[in-house]
Structure 1
Amino acid sequence: MVLPTSQIPPQPPTSAPAPPSAQLLAPDTTNRPPHQQGKQTVFAWAPTWRQVAFGVLLLFCLTPWASPPVALALGLLLAQTVGNPFASHIKSLTPKLLQFSVIGLGFGMNAHVAVQAGQQGLLFTVASIGGTLLLGYFVGRWLGLSRHVVYLISCGTAICGGSAIAAVGPVLRANDEAMSVSLATVFVLNVIALFTFPPIGHALHLTQHQFGLWCAIAIHDTSSVVGAAAAYGNEALQVATTVKLARALWIIPVSVGSALLFKQKGMKIKIPYFILGFVGAMLVNTFVPAAKPLGPVLVGLAKIGLTVTLFFIGAALSGRVLKSVGSRPYVLGVVLWIVVSAGSLYVILRAG
């Protein structure tokens, strides 16, 4: 039934719609989580205090006052207290930043010096890789660890830490647990080495060349090798970086051998192509005089990138990650690390 116009009940007055400009300026809080209701925003983004803390520490790492060990310590402090609010974002960024930083360091190195250093470190490399893998096999069996965990930790100790584990793991078809345990083990030892190696080197009065060679052999990851050597001196940095990257090339034959040993067919080998970029940068710095003025700038940026990389690595080592490993993988890692460190140091000191 249709009511006459006079009998239709009056409707409450409605406010006129806001003009388009007012709608654009008004903050939209309808879709925010409850804990962000009423929070002030910056360019439509409401940063949490954890994100602010991360940003402040990151900015400090870009300053001349932040050395690689300091940056790593700040990252660890963040991870163990408030936590890393950008863990998922920096996980993929960290290896790329490290690779570009290593390439940048090549613009401060001389190819003739690098070849000499690489030749001297070749014998140490071959002997230490074979010995570490063999020792890891027997210690791992004694500890009752799975063969994948044993092999990954041994490869990480023998060659170049996380990069070797990331390359060899898929070849073995290792599961996520084995990969995580192995990576966490070598990362913890990297942290210890970065802080302890420079004081030990000074206490033993190691030369720049001796310390650089020792770092390249006894410290797992390239980032910690470069960080410790940079804290010791420029010559140590050149020797350590060159020998470590030459050592990293052993990822290729070790990966091939791993595929044969574990009877894995059709697996792709992950080649560290950034080493070619480092060699190219070193050749440009040595043989292209026009590039000389650019070298110090690129090296400076590379050192900043390395510092930020170590901050990211420290921020990724949360207490949960450290506790999830258990004691036996740490025992294996420590035993291998002590044997390699002490053995290589003895040979270096005897060689003079």
Structure 2
Amino acid sequence: MSITEYKFQVEKIFLEGQNLTIVKTKSFWLAAVMTLICSITGIFLAKLPYFNIIGALVLALLLGIGMQLTPSQIQAEAKSGMGLISNKFLRFGIILLGFRLNLEQLAAAGVKTILVAAVAVSSTLLLTYWLSRKFGAEDELAVLTACGSSICGAAAVMGVSPQLESEDEERKRENEVLAVAVVCVMGTVFTLLEIALKPVLGLSDSQFGIVAGGSLHEIAHAVAAGGAFGDISLDSALIMKLSRVILLAPVALIIGYLYQKRLIKESVAEHTSKPKKLPIPWFLGGFILTSVLGTFLPLSPIFLDSLVQAAYVFLGMAMAALGISVNFKVIFKRGGAVFGAAAISSTFLLILMIIMSKLFF
């Protein structure tokens, strides 16, 4: 090859690289605008009556689904940017969400509250996973549904998902959205059910708050149910719910460890290459760090609320990106197993929390 030909090839590669960078940048900003519209709209809608039961994150997901009605050319141009938003923005949102956790309030509530939350989370997680598998759901979908149903809804699904490595990203996105749909539907149904049952359960306002915070999936669900019966019920619901939220980090770590351990066993049995080492969930470390900073630094309530709102903006963008990207025809074919499992386990969790609220609170 002559010097002239060599220079031509180098220039060609350089120009192709520049063009690729321009395309990716354009795709990212287009995706960012589309998902930001969904996220902000979801936050405003969540402040309205009735919509507040659904919650900002699930509303952003539904609005993302609505974005599938935009021209196919726009969706194609934004596709690569959607992957970045659903991945990186998700992690950043979870880190900022840590500012919602006040560790002093949890400590003041006592070890009893944490222990009750641990029993509720672990038993519901195992039951949901076992039932999902029994009903025919694939492993990854069963894990995500179990985490969303037992910990904190959509945020738990998205927090645990990065620990489950998958070669089929499209399938993984379908599983994420289906798991979020399950916790949204079940959480909404059980919110209305618990509000209706409160007069006949013989629970004090504080006890009902414990039941709502310990059994409902999204924070929005717990707030809607607890707030229906006054400040005492609302405060108890929030403390109980946050006691479950704080378990997200250890649960994700344990699931990631068990998942990789199983992959190693399978690879040895099949004489295949050894899977990657356990991915370090740095964003969960950030989640714990921000909860510590929010608790012990002299930050104003307004500033902390702004950080939490920013967290919901980023999480809402990630949820909208999922809604835009997923093939829902496939999801509807596979949803029966996890919906059935979640219905049974949600009923179990409600009964368990009613019993524990009367025994310990």
The two structures have a TM-score, normalised by structure 2, of 0.61
Q: Distance in 2 between matches of 1:178 and 1:337?
A: 25
In structure 2, the residue matched to 1:344 is 353
- Spell out the pairing of 1:222-301 with structure 2 (5 A cutoff): 224-225=218-219, 227-231=220-224, 232=227, 235=235, 236-260=237-261, 263-264=264-265, 266-270=277-281, 272-273=284-285, 274-284=287-297, 291=298, 294-301=299-306
Q: Which residue of 2 aligns with 1:188?
A: 181
Task: Indicate whether 1:324 and 2:330 are aligned.
Answer: yes
Q: Note the residue ranges of structure 2 that are not aligned, 5 or more in a row.
A: 1-25, 266-274
Give the alignment partner of residue 120 of structure 1, picking from 104, 112, 115.
112
Q: Which has the larger radius of gyration?
A: 1
Q: Is 1:305 matched with 2:300?
A: no
Q: Deviations for 1:128-163, whole angstroms, at most 9, x for unmatched residues?
A: 344335434542453233444434433444445314
For 2:261 and 2:62, the matched residues in 1 are separated by: 42
Q: CA deviation at 1:351?
A: 3.7
Q: How far has the Cα of 1:169 moved from its partner?
A: 1.3
Q: Residue deviations 1:180-233, cap 9 Å, x none?
A: 35422321133235544554454426767556644554355xxx32x3344436
Equivalent pair of 2:64/2:323 in contact (CA under 8 Å): yes
User: Are 1:95 and 2:96 an aligned pair?
Assistant: no
Structure 2 partner of 1:169: 164
- Structure 1 SS opposite 2:281: coil
Whether contact under 8 Å (2:117, 2:243) holds in the other structure is no
Aligned-partner residue type, residue 190 of structure 1: V
- Structure 1 contact 167–269 (Cα < 8 Å) conserved: no
CA distance in 2, matches of 1:136, 1:63: 32
Q: 1:102–1:302: 8 Å Cα contact kept in structure 2?
A: no
Task: Decide which structure has greater helix share.
Answer: 2
Answer yes or no: is 1:218 the counterpart of 2:232.
no
For residues 147 and 54 of structure 1, the distance between their equivalents in structure 2, rounded to whole angstroms, comes to 29
Find the aligned partners of 2:292 and 2:91 in 1 and give their Cα distance.
Answer: 18
Q: Which has the larger displacement, 186-195 or 132-141?
A: 132-141
The 5 Å alignment of 1:108-147 reads 109=102, 111=104, 113-117=105-109, 119-136=111-128, 138-147=130-139
- Preserved CA contact (<8 Å) 1:153 1:165: no
Q: 1:189 to 1:217 in 2, by over 3 A?
A: farther
CA distance in 1: counterparts of 2:89 and 2:347, whole angstroms: 31
How far off its partner does 1:282 sit? 0.8
Rounded to whole Å, the distance in 2 between the matches of 1:55 and 1:148 is 28
Distance 1:70 1:251 in 2: 23
Q: Which runs of 5+ in 1 are unaligned?
A: 1-43, 285-290
Residue 115 (structure 1) shift: 0.9
Give CA deviations for 1:214-269 in whole Å, capped at 9, x if unaligned: 4554355xxx32x3344436623344224421453233234334444565574345
Equivalent residue letter for 2:345: L
Contact 1:162–1:183 (CA<8 Å) still a contact in 2? Answer: yes
Question: In the TM superposition, what are the counterparts of 1:42-53 in structure 2 within 5 Å?
Answer: none
Tell which deviates more after alignment, 325-334 or 233-242: 233-242
**1:93 CA displacement:** 1.5
What amino acid maps onto 1:162 in structure 2?
V
When normalised by structure 1's length, the TM-score is 0.62
Equivalence for 2:146: 154
| 2:344 corresponding residue in structure 1 | 335
Indicate the percent of aligned positions where both proteins have the same amino acid.
16
Counterparts of 1:260 and 1:75, CA distance in 2: 35
Query: Aligned to 2:300, what secondary structure does the other structure show?
Result: helix
Paired with 1:178 and 1:52, the residues of 2 have a C-alpha distance of 25
Secondary structure of the residue aligned to 1:249 is helix
Coordinate RMSD, CA, aligned:
4.3
Residue 246 of structure 2: SS of its match in structure 1? helix
Report the Cα distance in structure 2 between the residues aligned to 1:174 and 1:122, rounded to whole angstroms.
36
Matched residue count: 290
CA distance in structure 2 between the aligned counterparts of 1:249 and 1:102, rounded to whole angstroms: 14
